[in-house]
Amino acid sequence: MQINSGSLSNGGVDFLQVPVWKRNVAMVYQQFINYPHFTVYKNIAFPLRKQGLDRSEIDRRVRRAIEQVGLQGFEERRIQALSGGQQQRVALARSLAKSSQILLLDEPLVNLDYKLRETLREELKTLISSQFNAEGIVVYSSTDPLEAMQFGGDLIVMDEGRILQQGPAVEVFEHPATCRVAEITNDPSMNLWTAQLDGDRFRVAPGLDLPRPERMRDLAPTDYTVGFRANDIRIEEGGLDFEVELSEIAGSETIIHLRRGEKRMIARVEGVVSLQMQQTVPVKINTDWLYAFNSNQHLVHSPFGRTN
């Protein structure tokens, strides 16, 4: 694939002028891309042989990578005899063995089952931190907000090919620059309602107001979009009545889709909660964690401090 304009370089080296097998880059794809006619050992060794390394160095790197990903004893196993998780470990080991300065990971865990994905995610974090020094570059692509946050580091939020925000993961999570960033970086997406600030209340809809937090006392009385996360909602007596549109058990949590008039929101509550569709439940929103965005949908106030 050719770039449309400009150049792609690192350390003064233009990648477009260097053959693929000579570039100091390793990549792990979403699919299990391995050489099916090779053994595990030969799969990992192949790019090292292309680099012209001597046999002893190749053997040292291959065996170290195999140990790093926990595939000892599988060296002579054919790829077709491996599980999906083991095949992805082979692809990861091949990238690690290259000792490249740049490692690119394109949703490497998305095709794995939940249990294995959790295990490999933790292993990846450890491997990356031990394998790459301060000068190394690791780019991990994910559509899972939780996964992106768990890796920490710098976060780049993209939508339709455009960068919306970048910075330390914690900073992006606490101060999403726009409503769209707030939606992308939360799962479920952050609940967003248009509202008018009137005195000490955000007027959302007839019969639906949210108290203005004291920290927002200096906000001008105008139109805003208020945001709150799914885990800042409680099913609790004394709250406003909402209708249950859908209730989904997600492991040790329950995801509840709620509606009041034309306003909808998604709650995430701890434990398994048995609710029926169209059931009416009392709901309270913890406005201590309320966000405020202006009419252009840019953040003006977060629970972690005012933006501007």
Instruction: Report the pLDDT value the prediction gives residue 101, as an integer from 0 to 100.
Output: 81
Which segments of the chain have a pLDDT < 50? none
Selected from 3.40.50.720, 1.10.10.10, 2.40.50.140, 1.10.357.10, the CATH number assigned to the domain covering 182-306 reads 2.40.50.140
Report domain extents, the chain.
Answer: 19-141, 182-306
- Say whether 182-306 and 19-141 share the same fold: no
Q: What percent of the chain has pLDDT over 70?
A: 97
**Amino acid 172: pLDDT:** 95
Q: Give the whole-angstrom CA distance, residue 135 versus residue 112.
A: 30
Give the span between the Cα atoms of 305 and 72, in whole angstroms: 50
Q: Which CATH class is domain 19-141?
A: alpha beta
- Given this model, what pLDDT does residue 135 score? 65
> According to the model, what pLDDT value does residue 133 have?
59
Q: For residues 291 and 84, what is the distance between their CA atoms, to the nearest angstrom?
A: 42
Looking at residue 19, what is its pLDDT? 79
| Separation between Cα atoms, residue 115 and residue 125, nearest integer Å | 16
Q: Are 244 and 276 in contact (CB under 8 A)?
A: yes
Give the burial string for 107-141 (b: 16+ CB within 10 Å, else e). bbbebbeeebbeebbeebeebbeebbeeeeebebe
